[in-house]
Structure 1
Amino acid sequence: MPTISQFFGIVIQMFWREHAPPHFHAMYGEYEAQIDIRTLEVLVGRLPRRALSLTIEWAIEHRRELMEDWDLCQTRQQPKRIQPLE
């Protein structure tokens, strides 16, 4: 599963040929959540409040790039790195 971004201890990854809806995986320590790119809702799992807040802030800034990476992953292509939250 390619890592597409990392910031403040949060790792963002996408699987190839993943199921709909379009989503990404956010990991922070022992926590993991799958987050819908379109709605930014947590589909599965959980993150601590602060980590989730930072992840959502980052995803809002990079939603278009996340969808582009989703499309790449669906065709088994390497997703592009996305700038971390600063």
Structure 2
Amino acid sequence: MPELSRFFGIVIRMYYDDHPPPHFHAIYGKLEMQVSIDPIAIMNGTMSRRAISMIIEWAALHQHELLENWQRLREEQPVVKIEPLE
């Protein structure tokens, strides 16, 4: 599963053969969430409110890049890393 970004201990990844709708996985310690890209929304999983707010903020800043990476994976191309939240 390619890693797209990493910030404040949160790892953002996408699977090559994952199911629609376009989404990413956010991993923080032993917790994991799936977050849809358009619209940005939690699909399943849970984390602290602080981690969720950082993930949503980051996704909003990079929504276009996330959708491009989703398409790249559908076309079996490598992902492009995305800047972390600072």
The equivalent of 2:10 in structure 1 is 10
The equivalent of 2:41 in structure 1 is 41
- Residue pair 1:17, 1:75 contacting (<8 A) in 2 also: no
The equivalent of 1:28 in structure 2 is 28
Q: Which runs of 4+ in 1 moved over 6 A?
A: none
TM-score (ref. length: structure 1):
0.96
Equivalent residue runs for 1:59-78 within 5 Å: 59-78=59-78
How many angstroms apart in 1 are the aligned matches of 2:75 and 2:19? 12
Give structure 1 stretches of 5+ with no counterpart: none
How many angstroms apart in 2 are the aligned matches of 1:66 and 1:55? 12
Helix, strand or coil: the match of 1:67? Answer: helix
65-74 or 43-52, which moves further after superposition?
43-52
How many angstroms apart in 2 are the aligned matches of 1:74 and 1:47? 28
TM-score (ref. length: structure 2):
0.96
The total of aligned residue pairs comes to 86
The equivalent of 2:58 in structure 1 is 58
Helix, strand or coil: the match of 1:41? Answer: strand
- Report the RMSD for the aligned CA atoms in angstroms: 0.7
